[in-house]
Structure 1
Amino acid sequence: MALVPPFTQESAHAKVKKGQDLWNTQEPKSISAAYTPDSTWRNRSTFLSGTAAIEEFLTKKWEKEKNYHLRKELFAFTDNKIAVQFWYEYQDAHDGMKWKRCYGLEDWTFADDGRMRKRQMSGNDIEIDQSERWFKDGVDVNEVEISEAHW
């Protein structure tokens, strides 16, 4: 199945899971290759453009966010756009290795070749106890039941 626009329910879902799996590698160079050379991002309050800036941003992200585990779910889609709901957990290396969970939404727009040309992310972090973690080591993030209260 080609993961390029125009998307179907099946291809949009597959695109989201492919993105999830790619981000879970935490390999900035590989991840940045999934974006157009002039891709524009808003990630919370950070605005950037281009794959070099994306790679630099992701490198810094994972210097801070240790033991990172991400889950993305398809929220909605059109021909060349996908909206995603996501949750990820990490230990904050800049805050005493406290566990945190980020809840958020992303808005993606794709070029004809399937690379992302625009990404907007809104997210909020909460501090969690070790016992509240969903994505513990060895757990398949896709198998964790996330209740409607967290959707």
Structure 2
Amino acid sequence: MSQARPPFPPFTAETAAQKVQGAEDAWNSRDPQKVSLAYTPDSVWRNRDEFLSGREEIIAFLTRKWERELDYALRKTLWSFSDDRIAVRFQYEWHDAAGQWWRSYGNELWEFTADGLMSRREASINDVTITEAQRRIVGPRPTEEHGMDIDLR
């Protein structure tokens, strides 16, 4: 049984932005179980070169991800939307076990069911090495910065 997750499609500029901010906030929790609840039980994903299906695979993927991507902090920006789809650009920063910092750039395509759960997620992501001094994403986004765009570089 799935639980409804507002805002619901069809999206407006305001509700699409709310959906994006909600996703950013959830992912910044780094709680795979919490994040998985935004997706349908049979949600399908492509994340880089991995293909996932269902919440259990999503939870396992996110658990591995946040064990590897330490001090993960994310920013998402609404790029475009239609009735039941949203396109997002994002950046996140993290470091590996050896202490190397990374900035990961990406785009996501999302599709939603009528009850507001994401049924499809496609993510294309590239990683760039950075120094700790080059970091600009630290922790969850402050409320006063919600909706602000992120720099390309």
Query: TM-score by structure 1 length?
Result: 0.90
Q: Size of the alignment, in residue pairs?
A: 146
Distance 2:84 2:149 in 1: 29
Corresponding residue of 1:124? 126
1:84 aligns with 2:88: yes
- Is the alpha carbon distance of 1:138 and 1:108 closer, same or farther for their aligned partners in structure 2, counting shifts above 3 Å? closer
Corresponding residue of 1:10? 14
Give ranges in structure 1 of 5+ residues lacking alignment. Answer: none
Distance 1:22 1:56 in 2: 16
On the 8 A contact 2:28/2:139 being kept in 1, the answer is no
Corresponding residue of 1:103? 105
Q: What letter matches 2:92 in structure 1?
A: Y
Q: State how 1:1-151 maps to structure 2 within 5 Å.
A: 2-93=6-97, 96-136=98-138, 140=142, 142=145, 146-147=150-151, 149-150=152-153
- Is the alpha carbon distance of 1:139 and 1:32 closer, same or farther for their aligned partners in structure 2, counting shifts above 3 Å? closer
Distance 2:149 2:25 in 1: 18
Structure with the bigger RCO (C-alpha within 8 Å, sep 6+) is 2
Over aligned residues, Cα RMSD in angstroms?
1.8
Spell out, residue by residue over 1:82-116, the C-alpha distance to the aligned partner (whole angstroms, 9 max, x if none).
000000000112xx121000000000000110000
Q: What letter matches 1:127 in structure 2?
A: T
Moved more, 138-147 or 64-73: 138-147
Distance 2:132 2:51 in 1: 32
Residue 43 of structure 2 aligns to a residue whose secondary structure is strand
- Is the alpha carbon distance of 1:139 and 1:113 closer, same or farther for their aligned partners in structure 2, counting shifts above 3 Å? closer
Spell out, residue by residue over 1:41-90, the C-alpha distance to the aligned partner (whole angstroms, 9 max, x if none).
00000001000000000000000001010000000000000000000000
